[in-house]
Structure 1
């Protein structure tokens, strides 16, 4: 029986894409059962491939709305920055509707000179062009080097109430639940921070206490650094779970990291409620083309960049082309539930300076980078930064230079799914889940609990951190055992327990889409254009 005969109509496209890959391998960690639903295998401590389908606008599977236009801007001679910003500011004063939207500012087709930064700082505001093609809305960036867009609220998480502590000796990666010493102050729907402090014992366990560069000690993470999961309580089970374990809570989204009390006490892992009054929601940037002067500048010099987003929940960037920006987009640590869809970064000038820029830099959580690309030479297309916690997902991505490189200091919960990369080398692998050792100022172990799923690449580097895993499943490409700067931690020449089906794609074709269908149903796939 053909693959398509076993699929529902709504899931047919996903299954057909798998069939088109030809022979199929199989993963023991995640696999479809006879009914097409995914089954998971945990390791001896309960760690498993997490559910990445919570990444994206509104937590995944929700259609990005077409917000009503309330102000229109036309092209004009001279600089248009003040005119566009005035329209954004005017819409920002309008009352939001029942869905939280104030309205969209529409830029009609044509060319707009923009000599300064444009800002969205209020919930419910969308800036929309009339297409990202050369005949659409083209922003020609002028003036001294600057960021073109900032979409940002203010402040950060504001903890409130009493601190509770994890009571479990071990909480596995991919788990949505754990025991607390007390949950008397918590209710379902509470926004909470789950925070673990980096300890000296964990640094030593990770073998990150001996980093040196040119004879000088390098610091991976300082003891006391907080690694934070931003979550919401889904349910509370008040029944006792044993001595010293009074209450069990379940979160809306699984945890991307594991929590081993043997290396985290003291002070242990804490849970506390928070508010975030300055965070903005329901904001978007769409259907624009941005062109800046071609540049090849070191990071020490000012650059033309595209976008910085911070203190945002439930936002999007879609149908945007950016030509010749460097370090193009940054999504800060206080960003959550954002979709980046059909955003394409094009470089006409190869980058040759030291410290290559990154076009998509992710520090937030539940970020979906979908159907996007980077073309050009000498840059990192996608990086994660310090202490990033997932789920974050890169889906149907294309790049002609390097690839996905969790950059420094322990990110967790990253999926690279059904993506294709060229231009890789041992110096710049297309997938680099690795120990960067002394690179930079001591980047060390860059990522754990990451998954490369049905990726086509030229060079892959996937290493296993102490106490953690990185998976490479159904990927095609040459595996390299070392990172160019001298890392000597080997990976197997043949598939290990986390390197499965090399050169042979596995079912499902897309892990993210299959997880989304399992969790929310077929309509969720249609909502995101599948």
Structure 2
């Protein structure tokens, strides 16, 4: 199994010495390092987690990304090379993508765009498994880089590239007949991977299942109907908690899945159930690489939004990637995911949005509904309203923002609305913001349309917000965390709620430096 992170990358250059600290041969204080009370190394050099009195614990985020991070993103072979033509290149490029997509799966690969400017007035669709859209570089020089110039506004507010399926939004609803069964465990705790079911006879190891915790009146009452301040509370059926998982083991009526749950599933609040998903319309093993998308606009960048809104939309995919690319002048997002599982976005920049500065826009790296196990690594945002955000409500979870940087933020990176779960900002850095609050793990009350509790069981780990605020608050039935973060770390948000768990604020030396990388390495042992 190929590891994407080494022990040295997690422990630092003095890995052996640090390992000695974890094993108790030296005191952490002597090295200037310290460990969280909630997740730390034991004498066997394994991570151990502490629950609070409500059963809350920090989840394991290590399954995010392409193939859970267990395989490196491949460099697929180039099958076809194209060069720019005069005028609109939409049909020209789509024909090349369709030609490669029509090949037998084993013969598919990358469509390589030679250096140059490619005006594109429509949408490019990478909608067949095994196809990659690859440029020659993401810089601004057409002599050596690939620059897709998105022109016009037809259709209005379009996506420039759609990576994945093109069918109607399904929300993983395709149910294989005869496979639905109730989850009978009284309490599947956050972080758990195994549970009891009423009938496992219709299930097999390797099945792709969908787990649903219905949004009942009992659950709503437990979470203060969303904590929506002056707005109406959330309603029955409005926020079902949904997970996309694989079965890794069945023993009698005990089912084990590949990724833990990021919320408590309690039968006294809702009867959860699962079914095998038919995977209809799903596209796999697709990517966008090494290109620049420059969306053309006219006039004032803080006014004009009559142009393409999203540079790359990742939808109806499993095991996909976007890497080594730059996106400019979008109205909504540089990269946006929806109905997307096990996706890696690496070494990408989403810069200088062009739009009115208002709600629904300038979400530079954005996860919408049914986004799960999505990993953003070393991505950079400028002039964002919400640079690194989950806007996917209760169907979005297991999202990691690793070493993300934001400059000139106009609002906070955050869980945005309606109970996204299991978000991790790991070594996030924000500089030169235009606002006081730049990372929100909190309640949004009557912001938007009853956003309320925006996220649960989410973590800021070793983040740096400079002179600005990181707000962390505790939802009912759940917890949020800020550990080893630097800046103004507080529970005082725009809506009064209990403070979340704050540990080691402005204290240097948090060990391990990266929670995600430490959890990933621990899972490989």
How does the TM-score come out when normalised to structure 2?
0.87
Structure 1 counterpart of 2:524: 520
Q: By how many angstroms is 1:23 displaced?
A: 3.4
CA distance in 2, matches of 1:333, 1:107: 26
CA distance in 2, matches of 1:345, 1:18: 34
1:428–1:293 distance in 2 versus 1, CA, 3 Å: farther
1:350–1:379 distance in 2 versus 1, CA, 3 Å: farther
CA distance in 2, matches of 1:210, 1:68: 51
User: CA-atom RMSD, angstroms?
Assistant: 2.5
Structure 1 counterpart of 2:12: 16
Q: By how many angstroms is 1:113 displaced?
A: 1.2
Structure 1 counterpart of 2:162: 150
Structure 1 counterpart of 2:190: 173
- 2:477 is aligned, of 458, 463, 467, to 467
Q: By how many angstroms is 1:298 displaced?
A: 8.3
Aligned ranges 1:105-254 → 2 under 5 Å:
105-135=111-141, 136-144=145-153, 146-153=158-165, 154=167, 156=170, 157=172, 158-160=174-176, 161-208=178-225, 211=228, 213=230, 217-223=231-237, 225-238=239-252, 247-254=253-260
Question: Which runs of 5 or more structure 2 residues have no equivalent in the other structure?
Answer: 19-30
1:303–1:140 distance in 2 versus 1, CA, 3 Å: closer
Partner SS for 2:291: strand
Q: Residues 233-276 of structure 1: CA distance to partner in whole angstroms, max 9, x if unpaired?
A: 111121xxxxxxxx211111111111122221xxx101111211
Q: Residues 371-397 of structure 1: CA distance to partner in whole angstroms, max 9, x if unpaired?
A: 101012545442332213422111011
1:388–1:431 distance in 2 versus 1, CA, 3 Å: farther
CA distance in 2, matches of 1:210, 1:448: 13
How does the TM-score come out when normalised to structure 1?
0.86
Say which is worse superposed, 68-77 or 155-164, in terms of deviation.
155-164
Structure 2 counterpart of 1:244: none
CA distance in 2, matches of 1:397, 1:428: 19
Q: By how many angstroms is 1:357 displaced?
A: 2.6
1:350–1:113 distance in 2 versus 1, CA, 3 Å: closer
Partner SS for 1:414: strand
Partner SS for 1:435: coil
Partner SS for 1:263: coil
Q: Does 1:433 align with 2:441?
A: yes
- 2:402 is aligned, of 371, 395, 402, to 395
CA distance in 1, matches of 2:126, 2:227: 44
CA distance in 2, matches of 1:151, 1:350: 23
Contact 2:290 2:323 in 1 (8 A): yes
1:40–1:118 distance in 2 versus 1, CA, 3 Å: same
CA distance in 2, matches of 1:328, 1:490: 32
CA distance in 1, matches of 2:486, 2:95: 50
1:431–1:96 distance in 2 versus 1, CA, 3 Å: same
Partner SS for 1:208: helix
Partner SS for 1:159: coil
CA distance in 2, matches of 1:396, 1:168: 37
Structure 1 counterpart of 2:461: 453
Q: Residues 473-519 of structure 1: CA distance to partner in whole angstroms, max 9, x if unpaired?
A: 111110344434xx12242xxxx7x2111112411111111111121
Contact 1:403 1:421 in 2 (8 A): no
Q: By how many angstroms is 1:134 displaced?
A: 1.6
Q: By how many angstroms is 1:437 displaced?
A: 0.9
1:483–1:110 distance in 2 versus 1, CA, 3 Å: same
- 1:74 is aligned, of 58, 83, 89, to 83
Contact 2:359 2:448 in 1 (8 A): no
1:362–1:481 distance in 2 versus 1, CA, 3 Å: same
Contact 1:336 1:365 in 2 (8 A): yes
Structure 1 counterpart of 2:378: 371
Q: Does 1:383 align with 2:390?
A: yes
